[in-house]
Structure 1
Amino acid sequence: MSLPVDAPTLLTWPDLTKREQPKPDATIAYGPDGMQKVDVWLPAARPAAGKRFPTVLMVHGGCWTTSIADRSLMNWIADDLRKAGYAVWNIDYRGVDRIGGGYPGTFLDAGMAADALRSHAAAYHLDIKRIVAVGHSAGGHLALWLAARGKLPTSSPLHATKPLKIAHVISLGGLPDLEAAAASPDNGCGVEVIRKLVGPTGATRADVYADTSVPRLLPIGVPQDLVNGVEDRIIPMRLATGYEMQARSAGDRVSLHVVPATGHVELVAPESAAWAETKRLIRAALDQR
């Protein structure tokens, strides 16, 4: 006879956000809005002559809504990567609740913030030959979307001529399939926020998911790791397994890593088993040279 197993005690958002917050080494602006900023995190030891820091492009979540979260939510794991010898390019963007956010602004902001990495790489000794993008929750969607930008048609307002090349994506409890998320009232962001994100249909835009939802752009042609918690009550596991199946069917290399006793907050808590797994994946991706 098996004994009942107690449910694990999960972290809450205040458990993370009430901690003393580490600070970035620099902040740069890529536009005039207060959210059009990037924080740069640099290891203490400067690279040897002719070398550059391995670099992680980081994208925060918060349901694409600025009032819920901004880039500072990632400060603890950004600091942990900095201590481990990685540089972090932690981007922000206007959420759907800000003027200019939603479609196309939120997407254009994410793209401009990513592309700005090239302009500042030399000044901060950042290696842009192999970029790993790490996104949490809504940021998992944006990280994957950034890697897929090269697939956007020139007719899309989101098209970029030479988007930053991303070599590997790690999505932490992400929502890559916006259409599936919009059909899932139990997704922690709700369905209304996705409607605001993708914008309305119109005479020239019948399909709002064509240039916003990652499955519509498959295959994206880069390896992808999905890290999800068994106890995540914000993002249903089927959003990860469903996307994994679609991406694999399209020919992409995708691995789903399911972490026990893990909720949504643990994915961005530096002491967690989920973050230890993510660091392992980052290390493996950046060591492929």
Structure 2
Amino acid sequence: MLKKMRRTLLAAAMAGGVGGAVVATAAPMTLQDYLALSGPAPTRHVAYGAAPSQFAELFQPAGEGLFPVAVIIHGGCWTKEFGGITQMRNMAGDLAAQGVAVWNVEYRRYDEEGGGYPGMYHDVASAMDRLRTLAPEHKLDLSRIVLVGHSAGGHLAQWAGSRARLPRSSALYVADALPVPVVISLGGLADLRNEQALIKTSCDRDMAQLAGVASAARPDIFSDTSPAELLPAGVRTVLIHGEHDTISPPRVGQDYARRAQAAGDAAEVLVLPGGSHYDEVAASSPSWAIVSAQIRKALGL
């Protein structure tokens, strides 16, 4: 029965439906497997601020362009301990080989000077909006763009896709944020309010580290940091979770999708049979056929 289900899921995924795996017997990737991931050097390293972690990497495909763009945001529990941007080069290199320009974003995490709230969010926003200045030189088609985030980066990608909904009173508000029609969250942890217990057990993070401290001017710390509080965002969200993901299990995506749909947004959940929290971002994993197909679909390829 399980093998039949996986074959069915694979066929549906290749048709743009539910996710599956190419090789059902592949062992789920471990944290050690993830940390060993690497990829090609980027085309360009671009600083968007003065701090060491305020930069992004551009992977420009061969050819004349215009190139569709995938913005990818790494996870790692919002801490510098687990790296992230180096590992994301694995998927960036594969996407660039498929003709997709990739903007691999680094940011100040909670345990870096200036990180946490509001700096971490300012970093992601600055990196996003920097694409407008790079587009002409690097032949980027910003009308075909998708946001892809993993784990903690799923939270930040979903937040970045929701920026138009930020209250004007927020320190994070900017006018004319770069619009993104589709966000793909890979094992994301985006509902900060309702997933506090999971985030604590999975990442040992307290909400003050991620969302700041309440004040008279900002009594609700989730109002401008949790994508779930910014619904409807007017974007389509694809929530992809590995079958064996224990850090952000499929239930997390299903709960978020129900909330997004109830608010009027398009949202769907794909489960990667045999996949872990780390298969979601590895071009060497059987799950990558499903993830990359969803990225191409979002870009109209």
TM-score w.r.t. length of structure 1: 0.92
1: distance between equivalents of 2:254 and 2:141? 32
Question: Aligned partners of 1:118, 1:270: CA distance in 2, in Å?
Answer: 28
Write the distance in 1 (CA, Å) between the matches of 2:239 and 2:296: 15
Q: Tell me, in whole angstroms, the C-alpha distance in 2 between the residues paired with 1:213 and 1:174.
A: 12
C-alpha separation in 2, matches of 1:256 and 1:280: 14
1:207-242 Cα shifts (integer Å, max 9, x gaps) = 000111111100111111111011012113322111
- Correspondence for 2:53 among 29, 32, 35: 35
Aligned 8 A contact 2:75 2:149 in 1: yes
Counterpart of 1:43, as a letter, is P
Deviation for aligned residue 1:19: 4.9
Is 1:205 aligned to residue 218 of structure 2?
Answer: yes
Is the aligned partner of 1:82 residue 2:100? no
The count of aligned residue pairs is 279
Provide the C-alpha distance between the structure 1 equivalents of 2:76 and 2:46, rounded to a whole number of angstroms. 21
Percent identity for Structure 1 against Structure 2: 40
Q: Distance in 2 between matches of 1:33 and 1:251?
A: 39
**Aligned counterparts of 1:18 and 1:229: Cα–Cα separation in 2:** 19
Q: Distance in 2 between matches of 1:195 and 1:274?
A: 34
Name the structure 2 match of 1:102.
Answer: 116
Q: Deviations over 1:1-45 (max 9, x none)?
A: x9xxxx973212332433554211111000001100010001122
| Residue 121 of structure 1: aligned partner | 135
**Mapping of 1:221-240 within 5 angstroms?**
221-240=234-253
Q: Distance in 2 between matches of 1:18 and 1:27?
A: 22
1:104 to 1:20, Cα distance in 2 relative to 1, 3 A: closer
Amino acid paired to 2:159: W
Distance 1:93 1:57 in 2: 13
Shift of 1:185: 6.0
The structure 1 residue matched to 2:125, chosen from 111, 116, 123, is 111
Matching residue's letter, 2:233 = I
Counterpart residue number, 2:150: 136
Whether the aligned pair in 1 keeps the contact of 2:146 and 2:183 (CA below 8 Å) is: yes
Q: Which runs of 5+ in 2 are unaligned?
A: 3-24
Alpha-carbon RMSD across the aligned residues, in angstroms, is 1.9
Q: Is the 8 A contact 2:38 2:89 kept in 1?
A: no
Q: CA deviation at 1:54?
A: 0.8
C-alpha separation in 1, matches of 2:171 and 2:29? 39
Please tell me whether residue 266 in structure 1 is matched to residue 279 in structure 2. yes
Structure 1 runs of 4+ off > 3 angstroms?
none
TM superposition score normalised by structure 2: 0.88
Q: What is the match of residue 265 of structure 2?
A: 252
Q: Label 1:141 to 1:92 Cα distance change in 2 as closer, same or farther (>3 A).
A: same
Match of 2:288 among 262, 275, 287: 275
**Structure 1: unaligned runs, 5 residues or longer:** none
For 1:30, the aligned partner's letter is Y
* Offset, 1:273: 3.2
Q: Secondary structure at the match of 1:67?
A: helix
TM-superposed CA distance for 1:136, in Å, is 0.5
Correspondence 1:147 to 2:161:
yes
Give the aligned partner of residue 18 of structure 2: none
Report SS of the residue matched to 1:216. helix
1:285 corresponds to 2:294: no
Paired residue for 2:41, among 15, 23, 27? 23
